[in-house]
Amino acid sequence: MATPQLIHQLPYIDLVLVISIAVQYRWLTRKFRRFVLTHSPPPKSLETLARKALGEGRDQQAYQLLGEILQQQPDHAEAHYLLSYIAHKYGNYQKEVELLQKASIINSENLLYKGYLARALVLCGEMNSAYQLLQTIDTVATNNPELIDVVATTYNRLNLYTQASKCYQRLVEIDVSSALVWFNLSTCYKYLGDFSQAKKALEKAVELKPNYEKAQAALTLLSSMDCRAKNSEDKRVKYLTRMLEASHNPEAQLHIAHALSKELEAGGHYSQSFSVLQKYKAKQKAAIGYSFDRDKPILDKLIAKAPYPCKPADGVENIFVTGMPRSGTTLVDRILCGSDEVISAGELQCFRTSIKKVLADTSSNFITPSCLAALGDDKCIEVGRLYQHNTRYLQGSKKILLDKLPVNILLADQLIHCLKNSVVVCLDRNPLDTIVSNYRQLFSFADGCYSYSLSLEDTALFYVSFYQLTRRLKRDYPERFFLLNYENLVQNQQEEAKQLFEFCQLPWSREYLNIENNTAPVATASALQVRQKIYTRSIEQWRHYDDQLLGVKAILDAHDIAY
């Protein structure tokens, strides 16, 4: 288009021509749009084409087709719903919420929209809103498996395992042939401490789907409670070995490898057990392209971070139990929530999602610059408000909420700064036991936080960062950060636990150490162990693998960390 200066230089007749062309262009454009709208296929046909495209993975084409529907009918609820599916697939959970809210407003009777909206709200950290929405959905009165399943999934994410188990029980009443449903039901039973029912549900899952890798791995873990005959162990090892050789997917292989490794451990074949893990963890690491160099710059800055101004808690309202995974965090959770003043919320992602929302951080990773953000007073208040609002459904009438997500240690500065009446308890276990137990654990790699565990050396390097960070936090926040040694706790239970309760401003009772009497759900890898009395047999487990730890010891030596 001509600039104003150029227009003034044109002869009068040319200027008239330019204006005439512009008017005709706008008229033709409007006419073309009306033509498209009147000659496009009807919304029902476009919806059918969009569903077919989604089913075949042609997301861009589906997106365009759904856009055409909304041009014709802006209040087409199903188009908004299908677009939310695309938003979810690509991790844009806030957009998913917006689209499902529109669909639910247009068609308030559709419970499926509400179910998926509740799930999306949880993924955005809006847990209290999700909980309130779930209360409006009666899964007993419906036979829709998709609706019941998404409600069950959302209850799981809310750490409400009793409600989730009821949904899965309802699903197996409707259809007994789904291995996935039996697996999910077994997980709920395990978290609730019903190991007998959990094992039965897992056996049903593998009966329906013998090559179900996750179920086989979980079955091995539950079966470790039994005293099995030697020939039974050998048979299981051979079966899992055949499964492993037949699989070609690195993630699936890793699940089987962990199951096989556990079986070999049970037979005392520690070196062979470790070799299996090394081979298949290396494959998965290559498949996801992880390198510790990705996380190291942020971790280094976190270790060097300047502390916030800090005052003692004026009556503790929030306790965060943190540390490296497999270092005793669940044990401490069980001891603390023995108090009538404390309710355990389990492992919540809620503080991280509150920070990400305030900072508009859209990354799906846990270790991001939000770990380092210097939060001003306004943002600090908003993060704290969001966290407390979104955990209210769990707290009930209890005075103190306990959040036991180990990796919250990376957000300890913000926890202390944003929640003025919070304290952070961090477990400190023998370095070699910590590193080996993390390496031997099968984690989820969805948010990238545990990717270090795919390499023994990366696990050791992550531990070094953890060690340096915790020493800085102990120095900077002596009245709000408590470093608790696992070995001291299990060997001198009463003395160490009394100091812990004093730090948390809680009255002490010897009965709190009877964790085997605590019937609250446990959704961690320690779900089996913490149903037993406190024991010391986990100390120095690393000695079974001493031959494989030369590189780890060299890393610890280089950083002057005693073991």
Q: What is the pLDDT of residue 36?
A: 47
Residue-level pLDDT at 363: 86
2-6, 33-37, 101-105, 276-280, range with the lowest pLDDT: 2-6
The owner of tokens 């730090």 is: 503
CA distances from residue 175 to 144, 178, 199 in whole angstroms, order as listed? 11, 7, 19
pLDDT of 15 strictly over 50 = no
Nearest-CA neighbor of 122 among 65, 90, 160, 168?
160
CA-to-CA distance for 439 and 285, rounded, in angstroms?
A: 13
Where do the structural domains in the chain lie, given as residue ranges? 4-39, 43-267, 296-558
The answer, yes or no, to whether residue 384 has pLDDT greater than 80, is yes
Q: Is the pLDDT of residue 527 over 70?
A: no
Tokens 């001493």 correspond to: 546
CA gap 91, 79 in Å, rounded: 19
pLDDT in tens, 508-525: 999 999 998 877 777 665
Per the structure block, which two tokens stand in for 326? Answer: 């497999």
Count of beta carbons in the 10 Å neighbourhood of residue 196:
10
Just give the CATH number of 43-267.
1.25.40.10
Q: Which two structure tokens, joined as six digits, stand for 525?
A: 């890898």
Nearest to 288 by CA among 455, 459, 123, 439: 455
Task: Find the mean pLDDT for residues 481-497.
Answer: 97
Average pLDDT over residues 420-447: 96
Query: Residues 204-256: pLDDT tens digits?
Result: 999 999 999 999 989 998 876 555 555 567 899 999 999 999 999 999 999 99
pLDDT band at 25 (very low <50, low <70, confident <90, very high): low
Give the position of tokens 């087709």.
65
Phi-psi region of 76 (alpha: psi -120 to 50; beta: other; left: phi over 0): beta
In this predicted structure, what is the pLDDT of residue 18? Answer: 44
Give dist(CA 378, CA 559) in Å, integer. Answer: 39
- For all residues of the chain together, what is the average pLDDT? 91
CA 115 – CA 153 distance, rounded (Å): 10
Strand stretches in 240-365, DSSP E:
318-323, 342-344
3-class secondary structure per residue, 187-219: HHHHHCCCHHHHHHHHHHHHHHCCCCHHHHHHH
User: What is the rounded average pLDDT of the residues 337-362?
Assistant: 93
User: Tens digits of per-residue pLDDT, 443-480?
Assistant: 999 889 999 999 999 999 999 999 999 999 999 999 99
Q: Which two tokens stand for residue 347?
A: 């492992």
Q: Which pLDDT belongs to residue 521?
A: 73
Q: Find out whether 321 and 332 touch, Cβ atoms under 8 Å.
A: yes
Structure tokens at 477: 């926040």
Residues 500 and 425: beta-carbon distance below 8 Å: yes
Q: Collapse the DSSP code of 418 into the 3-class scheme (helix H, G, I; strand E, B; otherwise coil) and give the result.
A: helix
Find tokens 């309710």 and name the residue: 343
DSSP state of 324: S
Beta bridge partners of 427: 323, 484
**CA–CA distance, 406 with 321 (Å, rounded to integer):** 7
Cα→Cα distances 415→158, 198, 432, Å: 20, 36, 28
What is the average pLDDT across 31-40? 53
Phi, psi of 346 (to 5 degrees): 80, -155
User: Residue 26's pLDDT is what?
Assistant: 62
Span 49-57, average pLDDT: 96
Q: Tell me: pLDDT of 356 over 80.
A: yes
Closest CA to 272 of 537, 454, 544: 544
Of the pLDDT bands very low, low, confident and very high (cuts 50, 70, 90), residue 5 is very low
Summarize the confidence of residues 402-431 as an average pLDDT.
Answer: 97
The reported pLDDT for the residue numbered 526 is 60
Q: For residue 115, what pLDDT is reported? A: 98
What is the mean predicted confidence (pLDDT) over 74-83? 98
Evaluate the CA torsion angle 344, 346, 352, 358 in order and state its sign: negative
Q: Across residues 50-68, what is the average pLDDT?
A: 96
13 has pLDDT over 80: no
Q: Tens of pLDDT along 120-145? A: 999 998 999 999 999 999 999 999 99
What's the confidence (pLDDT) of residue 1?
42
> What value does the mean pLDDT take over residues 41-51?
94
**Distance between CA atoms of residues 289 and 295, nearest Å:** 13
pLDDT at res. 520: 74
Q: Which residues of 521-547 are buried (b: 16+ CB within 10 A; e: fewer)?
A: bbbbebbbbbbeebeeebeebbeebee
Q: Single out the residue of 142, 200, 140 nearest to residue 176, CA to CA.
A: 200
**How big is the CA angle at 361 (ends 443 and 80), to the nearest 5 degrees?**
90
CA dihedral 206, 523, 490, 223 (to 10 degrees): -10
* pLDDT > 50? residue 7: no
Region 354-365 average pLDDT: 90
Q: 505: phi > 0 → left, psi -120 to 50 → alpha, else beta; which?
A: left
Q: DSSP assignment, residue 504?
A: T
Contact 162, 147 (CB under 8 A): no
Q: What is the CATH class of 296-558?
A: alpha beta
**Which uninterrupted H or E stretch holds 426?**
strand 422-428
Residue 350's pLDDT is: 93
- Residue tagged 């996380």 (tokens): 295
Cβ pair 122, 155 in contact under 8 A: no
Mean pLDDT of 403-411: 97
The reported pTM is 0.86
For residues 221 and 240, the answer to whether their CB atoms sit within 8 Å is no
What is the token pair recorded at 380?
A: 């600090």
Give the DSSP H/E element, type plus range, for residue 333: helix 329-336
